Structure 1
């Protein structure tokens, strides 16, 4: 009985370490693709920080107020989206993010952008959440390459778009024309990235990824 218990603990520990190893590599790749590792930037569409978080992701992990977000937005289908988010009363994403009352972080947006460790913690939360969502859709994430591909693609286009690409090859592009396939392939190419990371500062050229246009706040 004790032997079984110890084996179980060892297996659980190994699995946790494996997950953390995958998460660490996923975070490293995403941060370089999205921001070149810079934590204080905001892109032209309002995506924030080192990992270029969108508002919905920050709501999902409790950084932004869910009740405020829901009360100030609504969704409707468009030609390209099943449910696109729109703002009420003339509000905009930037207006929402610039109001500290909409944050569950003291100091709001500026505090979040200035705290790299908080952004790392937020990314860990999001990766765990997306892992659960992908597994709920039936994906087996025990293979590190599969896990990295799906998690990186999910961060870019959401779990739904990542799932559709993995299952059916359905392409998704963002407002800048960047395709989800580039992000999905980044996971598969991560061994190449790891070998070259000390020599290559620009992940976008290494992975042939079009980086998003970014600007300082």
Structure 2
């Protein structure tokens, strides 16, 4: 009996480790969150805006302003009028399908209106906070991989890969990860944007811009 146990235990451990390894394969952002065809816009042509819309670079600390400006710099170098090579839009690089979730259907208007882009970002945070509220409470403060999980890291990762994928990442303790088309993954965003205070944005079910 002891001989059988001494043989079977190492085999069982090896099987578990191999299974974990298969779960760790890169997963791409799902098609529902991706831009799969060119985004047709007539604006902007040269990324110029009225002076009244230009924002003075803020103090980049650990507040909500620091969080949004750090994420915007990572996404677009903070440029409101940019469309990247995959068709993502604006300062925070939204896909058209995500904009529709927060109530924006006119991408021309979105690109030409910095105030609307800021409101869309804030609204999407409120929406994602609601979806991820239980996971934020459960996982904040623990360590996954080489980073501490925080609310701001979770929300930044949801901006990258969607709240559903962030749930899977957290509940698998990092075994399920998602990579975007440029090779950035949930774990990277979780670490890069950890430790910001975004408590001023409250969770809101089905948050939308109603105008």
Structure with greater proportional helix content: 1
User: Would the alpha carbon gap of residues 167 and 24 (structure 1) be closer, same or farther in structure 2, given more than 3 Å must change?
Assistant: farther
User: What's the TM-score once normalised by structure 1's chain length?
Assistant: 0.53
Give yes or no for contact 1:22–1:148 (8 Å, CA) kept in 2.
no
Q: Which residue of 1 aligns with 2:162?
A: 158
Measured in 2, the distance between the counterparts of 1:131 and 1:190 equals: 14
Measured in 1, the distance between the counterparts of 2:70 and 2:192 equals: 8
Q: Which residue of 2 aligns with 1:112?
A: 110
Aligned counterpart for 2:132 among listed residues 134, 140, 160? 134
Deviation at 1:26, TM superposition (A): 2.9
Deviation at 1:56, TM superposition (A): 2.1
Q: Which residue of 2 aligns with 1:99?
A: none
**1:28-51 Cα deviation digits (max 9, x unpaired):** 221011011100001111110000
Aligned counterpart for 1:40 among listed residues 81, 85, 97? 81
- Within 5 A, what are the aligned runs for 1:52-131? 52-64=93-105, 103=106, 109-131=107-129
| Structure 1 unaligned residues grouped into runs of 5+ | 1-20, 65-102, 104-108, 192-217
Are 1:175 and 2:181 matched, yes or no? yes
Measured in 2, the distance between the counterparts of 1:122 and 1:155 equals: 12
The aligned length equals 127
User: Would the alpha carbon gap of residues 141 and 149 (structure 1) be closer, same or farther in structure 2, given more than 3 Å must change?
Assistant: farther
RMSD (CA atoms) = 2.5
Measured in 1, the distance between the counterparts of 2:155 and 2:135 equals: 14
User: Would the alpha carbon gap of residues 22 and 150 (structure 1) be closer, same or farther in structure 2, given more than 3 Å must change?
Assistant: farther
User: Would the alpha carbon gap of residues 40 and 54 (structure 1) be closer, same or farther in structure 2, given more than 3 Å must change?
Assistant: same
Measured in 1, the distance between the counterparts of 2:111 and 2:96 equals: 14
User: Would the alpha carbon gap of residues 22 and 159 (structure 1) be closer, same or farther in structure 2, given more than 3 Å must change?
Assistant: farther
User: Would the alpha carbon gap of residues 53 and 62 (structure 1) be closer, same or farther in structure 2, given more than 3 Å must change?
Assistant: same
User: What's the TM-score once normalised by structure 2's chain length?
Assistant: 0.54
Larger Rg: 2
Measured in 2, the distance between the counterparts of 1:58 and 1:29 equals: 21
- Within 5 A, what are the aligned runs for 1:178-197? 178-188=184-194
Give yes or no for contact 2:151–2:194 (8 Å, CA) kept in 1.
no
Q: Which residue of 1 aligns with 2:36?
A: none
